[in-house]
Amino acid sequence: MKIGMFMMRYPPSRKSPIMPEVVRLLVEWGVTVDPIYPDEQLTDLAHIHVEHDLYVLKSGADLALSLAGALHAAGAQIVNPYPVAAIMRDKIIATRVLQAARLPVPSTYVTNHLEELAPLLDEGPLVIKPYRGSQGRGVHVVWDSDELNNVRANQDLIFAQRYYKPEDRDLKIYCIGGQVYGVKRVWPAQTYEEKLGEPFVVTPELHQIALRCGQAFGIEVYGLDVIVNDGKFYVVDISSFPGFKGVPDAALRLADYIYSVGQRVISGQPLLPAFEKERFV
Amino acid sequence: MKAIILGAGHIGCGLAGQLLRASGYQVVFITHTPVLADHFNRVGCYQVHLVNGSEARKIVVDGICAVSADDLDRVAAEIAAADLIVTSVGAGNLSAAAELIASGLSLRSRPANILAFENLPLAGARLREHVAQHVPQNFPLADYGFSTALVSRAVTQRLGDPALDEPLTFIGDPPDAFVVDRLSLRQPLPSIEGMILSDDFDAWVCRKLYIFSAGHATCAYLGYLKGYHYIHAAILDPEIRAAVLAAMAEGQRGLSACYGAEIAGDESDLEELVARFENSALNDPIARVGRDPWRKLSADDRLIGAAHLAEEAGVHPEHLALAAAAAFYFDDPADPSSADLQYEVKFFGVASALNRICKLDSSQGLGCRVANAWRQFANGWHRGNVLLKLDRMIWACCFQPENGARRTEIVPQSNDYQSLFLAKTVY
């Protein structure tokens, strides 16, 4: 089995042991794994061909996403599939997909003009996020219209959601092939230990929400950010192939999952099982 | 010399055919799959790929041919002319195979030995009984030898398409040895590479079933609850690895007390078996190893049988009981046996299932151990849920328990990882 893995190299100061361990396990199991670091090399587009049984799109960088798209167009099998990974990079589309699936997301607004958010602040605070952002970067909570002037939007497009103050730490829900794991984490997590957070036992309601999110997009490897306010859950973000920090035995579980998907693919079965209900992508 | 192999499946081709060819036999397969018979007759060979973590050996098995099982006259003629008859048809197909064998035996001028390469300890004796039903009463069946062939090798995959002209490849692990019951065979005894003739066959059966198979099943059933897909992944989970070693050690101690230390082996043998479970080249899914839990939970099979033997030796078979309890949760939609088991537990309760399948009383002894372990799993079991910590029975998600089991409340106590999962059981 040959797997091409789109990865991102992090500075040594950033501890990220899970994916290297996944690669090590897959290699130990006889898989040929070719890590691909698009950001570190010159790629001749004419030379893009499907050379692997399976690709894993771990990197969220734009170039990795585009190259995965080119491979997708050429017929590559990718975890997660390019169209879904691309949609999840755009919070506007992703949120709309979640809404359409009747999943609990905060009221969400988009505009090109910050001042248009002012009337909405009469009903409570908003959280403004870069619509293609990740890892909490560039997130502002705005309580009144004066604060809108302090928001340094790096782009014209403004993505805002009704802000619900979490009653507890952030809940990270990680899903691998239909399995659901919960990790509580402070926000924003700064240290590695904070990013590891603490596993928690997921409630049936949250379990159901997590699985429905996967069904809505038609994928099996993803993460949700959920907050609890007034006893209600709100899905405030969803990401394709997150870091899985804090999931017990994460590397072993991911390697086992990727291996099983690879086996499915090389035996001619579909990359993913059929998502019969609630698929919106 | 000619050998007939009824069944051209994994063990038939990946072990029996290979060893018989290596021992100088001309090999004829009898198969119910016409496309496979055509393939073997057209291509004339197949490959056996023996792999473990560090080495791989490719063997070409040539000089073979096949006959369709539907061609009854030809099958009977081949069996009549054979020096050795082998079955590898699956335990459930012995009766059908016996009918074919009987038709050939009736044409023979001299007795022969028949080896059953089946995953069933009493396969040789069963086959004799089935054949007896299809031969005349005065047929000299006692002159024929029938023995189970107890194999070590796992053959887990067949690669290739029999519709094409490329030789098929069977993937297995390296062990060649197989044990037969000398006392059940007749002279002249066959000479086959890897064959061990034993006068203490029952001991070898117990050794395989209560150590290797018990460990394999423990890995599969606990691996299933912990959400793994492959044996080679599950065995890398430290908790599962420890449980597998402990379950095999319980079986080994029982075996040692009953048959002696030489048969039972020692700790290093258990480590060798675990190393075989790590062999990813076998690509062995948990769904395959866990298949047919109803049979694997029966009173004399790998888990309960090993536990009984351990108890007789004064060993508390905690880990075998744990594995048996886990087996009751094995729920693979593709496996009718697991569906029957789930139905049994759901509608009649675990006590009834223990009694009916394992012949155990859930209120005492081993039955009580299994029932208690079952109840602990029941606190978190739900289809799709993942057991995170075996030692504390911590699950990824909490659900209302099914099957009338006790309910557990998950009570986060502090920031400490362990106590975060502190579970309070209520009745």
Find the radius of gyration of the CA atoms of chain A: 19
Residue type, B426: V
Alpha-carbon distance of A245 to A26, in angstroms, equals 19
Asked if B244 and B284 sit in the same domain, the reply is yes
% pLDDT > 70, chain A = 95
B14 close to B26: Cβ distance less than 8 angstroms: no
B276 close to B235: Cβ distance less than 8 angstroms: no
Give domain A2-83's CATH architecture: 3-Layer(aba) Sandwich (3.40)
Asked if B117 and B63 sit in the same domain, the reply is yes
CB of A259 within 8 Å of any CB in chain B? yes
Alpha-carbon torsion (B238, B243, B249, B252), positive or negative: negative
Quote the tokens at residue B233.
């992944």
Asked if B232 and B195 sit in the same domain, the reply is no
* Within-domain flag for B119: yes
Domain finish residue from B199, B223, B249: B199
Alpha-carbon distance of B272 to B51, in angstroms, equals 15
- For chain A, the first-to-last Cα distance in angstroms comes to 29
pLDDT tens across A79-91, in order? 999 999 999 999 9
Q: Do B397 and A204 touch (CB under 8 A)?
A: yes
Average pLDDT over residues A53-64: 93
pLDDT confidence of residue B209: 94
Strands B169-172 and B45-51: parallel
Residues 89-108 of A with CB under 8 A from B: none
* Within-domain flag for B206: no
Alpha-carbon distance of B396 to A199, in angstroms, equals 9
Identify the band that residue A15 occupies on the pLDDT scale cut at 50, 70 and 90: confident
Give residue ranges of B with CB < 8 Å to any A CB: 227-230, 232-233, 236-237, 280-281, 283, 384, 386, 388-389, 394-400, 410, 412, 415, 417, 420-421
Boundaries of domain holding B376? 214-426
pLDDT confidence of residue A275: 60
Identify the band that residue A154 occupies on the pLDDT scale cut at 50, 70 and 90: low
Average pLDDT over residues A171-181: 96
* Nearest residue of A to residue B226, measured between CA atoms: A253
Identify the band that residue A273 occupies on the pLDDT scale cut at 50, 70 and 90: confident
- Contacts of B238-241 with CB under 8 Å at 24 or more apart are B239/B389, B239/B390, B239/B391, B240/B390, B241/B274
Domain count for chain B? 2
Domain finish residue from B199, B234, B263: B199
**Which of the two residues, A140 and B110, has the higher pLDDT score?**
B110
Asked if B190 and B286 sit in the same domain, the reply is no
- Domain of B224, CATH number, reads 1.10.1040.10
Task: Write down the domain spans for chain A.
Answer: 2-83, 107-162
Asked if B150 and B68 sit in the same domain, the reply is yes
pLDDT confidence of residue A152: 67
pLDDT tens across A210-238, in order? 999 999 999 999 999 999 999 999 999 99
* Within-domain flag for B209: no
A96-119 burial by CB neighbour count: b if 16+ within 10 A, else e?
bbbbebebebbebeeeeebeebee
Q: How many CA atoms lie within 13 A of A6 on its CB side?
A: 28
Residues of chain A with Cβ-Cβ distance to B52 below 8 Å are none
- Domain of B96, CATH number, reads 3.40.50.720
Partners of residue B195 on adjacent β-strands: B178
For chain B (427 residues), the mean pLDDT of every run of 10, in chain order, is 97 98 97 96 97 87 96 97 97 94 95 94 94 95 97 92 96 94 96 96 94 97 98 98 98 97 95 94 93 95 97 97 98 94 94 97 96 94 92 89 45 36 33
Nearest to A259 among B230, B397, B400 (CB): B230
Asked if B156 and B239 sit in the same domain, the reply is no
Asked if B7 and B129 sit in the same domain, the reply is yes
Asked if B175 and B234 sit in the same domain, the reply is no
Interface test with B, best of A3, A22, A26, A29 (most B CBs within 10 A): A29
Q: Do B229 and A257 touch (CB under 8 A)?
A: yes
Alpha-carbon distance of B390 to B377, in angstroms, equals 9
Give domain A107-162's CATH architecture: 2-Layer Sandwich (3.30)
Asked if B241 and B276 sit in the same domain, the reply is yes
